[in-house]
A and B are shown apart, each in its own frame.
Chain A
Amino acid sequence: MAKPRVVVVRSAKGWAAGGDPDPALITRMFARGFALLDGASDGKAAAAALFRPDDRIGIKVNTIGGRALSTRPEVATALAGWLAANGPAAKNLFVWDRTTRELKSAGFAPAADRNGVKVFGTDTEGVGYAEDLVSHLNVGSLFSKILTEFVTASISLAILKDHGLAGITAGMKNYFGAIHNPNKYHDGHCDPYVAEVFDAPPVKSRHRLTILDALVVQFHKGPAYHARWAAPYGGLVFSRDPVAADAVGWDIIERLRASAGLPTLKDEGRAPGYLATAERMGLGRADLAAVETVEEAVA
């Protein structure tokens, strides 16, 4: 069986003069990431390998951390722009999270233009949560209608950061923002809940791609922002394998922690055990030796 591929695209100069990410550079990073993901000949082929022409694509961002530590709007906008330029119609792209308030606090501008990219939260009037309770393994939750009714395919565009309970927050845990009761799933270092929420039909049937916003990585004392432990990693991480993507994200955090002289997450008793659980459930590969990691710099 072929190893799942994880692509890490990095740029040491990802920021514009004002301190925000440089949109043009981020777009180039996306183009390179998609190209390396499947070896597609061009952007349209790369997009076609992931999505049907009529797919309505949800881009699930993580905006709980405010402006300092959320999926950056510039990254989501660049992704939507790249997709729209390579096949999927802009009107079929939905950037979303659980609340519009959190989206705004992270710098997103809500949008509901009929022909453009939509940006809104589950709490938007007329949206909300699907009324059928999904009972799956240890999970009993309502899922956002954005996931269950609005979109046919999903990208987890997650911020990568340390998490005091889960070990890390990355692509899989991002879907905690798709359920009504994530507070119930933080026991046991969020294990097995992260894997089981992902494995629930509303997520598993739609998820196509994980992309981690690792431009700035909070490698300690997350999930809140602490400048002291936030590193300008300058990376975007891509994978079709949700477990492998998070495993590489964990490795990035461990390397940053080591550089700062911090103990490993395992030593702190909070290794992200959900990855091994997810691997056992057949959701992907957690063992880095079984993952092909491709890293490339973009200028």
Chain B
Amino acid sequence: MNRRGFFRQAAGAGLVLGTGLPGLGRSLAAAGAAPNLSHVEARYYVKLPDREIECRLCPRLCRLGDKERGYCGVRENDGGTYYTLVYGKVCSLNIDPIEKKPFYHVLPGRTALSLATAGCNVNCKFCQNWEIAQVRPEQVEAYDLSPGDAAARAAAASCPSIAFTYTEPTVFFEYMVDTAAQARRRGVRSLVVTSGHINPEPLGELLGVVEAVKVDLKGFTQDFYTQYVRGELKPVLETIRAVAKSKAWLEIVALLIPTLNDRMDLIREMCRWIKGEAGEDVPVHFTRFQPMYLIKNLPPTPVSTLEAARRIGLEEGLRFVYVGNVPGHEGENTYCPGCGRVVIARTGYSVDTAGLKKGKCAACGTAIPGLWT
């Protein structure tokens, strides 16, 4: 099936293409329909006396009585057995440029079949996809897409990768891992876009089946994580360390929000930590905030703030530091750390890789780290 055929088939199936979001109106319109929930036993939990369970998937360690759901809203204790309600229940499915994730050092200019189920295990006040991330699975339309079908659709649409994105993939861990395994059999790579709130053991399993992970490092203080993320910083840092040590490619995104997490001394501290713990070759994206969800009273991040952060990253020895969400900005480009020439030019999602030859700078031959083929 070609790409056009895929779009036609997906559209015929009622899948949501283009926007990436089902939109709240659509969700509300779905009220009355029988909820499309899975009943697949979850992994990474322990059974406790009196039909209670403790989830071990993420650092929250939700301890739940019968009929209760975890913080994510998509995993439920039913009679002392824990179930995922979103296995194969996709609420958003798109073919996206891989730069949208963003991955800048993974298959530039190619596409990723991008999918999500409902749910998230944090609650960022600046969530960009809250209509699907901060809801329960009954509140969005979901479509059945088995792991095998997802992998087949990616291959049929000539997508070299599947991206687990939009919401927090950790909450659909079982589906993600099974899909990634199916994708690998078909030569399709798997990419994860995550907040990093996952425990080491499931992360280890995940890293065995995916090729790249983008972690959102949303701030560099616990206070910020407490107030604006409803999560913990330490597990995120541990996740970054673990991904950096694994075979998976790592990129880091730091969304800078005016007055909340844009202190330059903390950004410098963050960059030092990244270089020390993950290495100088990890691409770091400083991206622009737009007023959203529960933070609508702050302006978009000034471009000058992003530029200052990028300068700090480069000063601290990180070799690939980007400005994000500012289409056409020179900070979108990948520059050769050897000769300084542009090896990958970007304007939004338009990509020119003429300066990159077999993973090296076409001008001076310096190796540029990444997954290029």
Could you tell me the distance between the alpha carbons of A164 and B50 in the complex, rounded to whole angstroms? 12
Number of A positions contacting B (CB below 8 A): 30
The answer to whether A140 and B125 touch (CB under 8 A), given A126-B32, A186-B71, is yes
CB-CB under 8 A for A125 and B71, given A99-B138, A184-B230, A222-B65: no
When distances are taken between beta carbons in the complex, the residues of chain B under 8 Å from A133 are 293-294
**Is A164 in contact with B65, judged by CB distance below 8 angstroms?**
yes
What CA separation (Å) do A184 and B33 show in the bound complex? 24
Closest to A139 in B: B294
Interface string of B104-128 (1 = CB under 8 A from A): 0000000000000000000101000
Given known A-B contacts A122-B31, A125-B31, A184 and B138 have beta carbons under 8 A apart = no
Given A123-B32, A124-B32, A164-B63, check contact A183 B136 (CB 8 Å). Answer: yes
Would you call B73 and A181 a contact (CB within 8 A)? yes
Tell me, rounded to whole Å, the shortest Cβ–Cβ distance linking B226 to chain A: 10
- Complex Cα spacing A181 to B71, Å: 9
B contact patch SS: loop
Do B65 and A183 touch (CB < 8 A)? no
Docked complex Cα distance between A135 and B72 (Å): 20
Chain B interface size, under 10 / 10 to 19 / 20 to 34 / 35 or more: 20 to 34
C-alpha gap A184/B35 in the complex (Å): 20
Closest to A220 in B: B50
- A residues 182-197 near B (Cβ < 8 Å) are 183-184, 186-187
Q: In the bound complex, do residue B73 and residue A123 qualify as a contact, i.e. CB atoms below 8 Å apart? A: no
**Does A129 lie within 8 Å of B28, measured CB to CB?**
yes
- Knowing A123-B138, A135-B294, the reply to whether A187 touches B71 (Cβ < 8 A) is yes
Separation of A222 and B51 alpha carbons in the complex (Å): 11
B25 touches A131 (CB 8 A): yes
**Is A221 among interface residues, defined by CB-CB distance under 8 A?**
yes
Least distance between A138 CB and chain B CB atoms (Å): 9
Complex CA distance for A249 and B66, rounded to whole angstroms: 22
CA distance A184 to B138 in the complex (A): 15
> In the complex, are the beta carbons of A183 and B31 less than 8 A apart?
no
Within 8 A of A (CB), among B13-48: 24-25, 27-29, 31-33, 35
- The contact of A180 among B32, B52, B139, B230, by CB within 8 Å, is B139
In the assembly, what is the distance between CA of A247 and CA of B65, in Å? 23
Q: Does A84 contact B (CB under 8 A)?
A: no
CB of B272 closer than 8 Å to a CB of A: no
The reply to whether A140 and B72 contact each other, CB–CB distance below 8 Å, is no
A35 interface residue per 8 A CB criterion: no
Q: Is the CB of A181 within 8 A of B135?
A: yes
Complex CA–CA separation, A64 to B28 (angstroms): 21
Q: How far is the CA of A129 from the CA of B68 in the complex (A)?
A: 21
Not counting A64-B67, A140-B134, a sample of 10 additional A-B residue pairs whose C-beta atoms are within 8 angstroms of each other reads: A101-B35, A126-B32, A128-B31, A131-B25, A164-B63, A164-B64, A184-B230, A187-B230, A221-B50, A224-B68
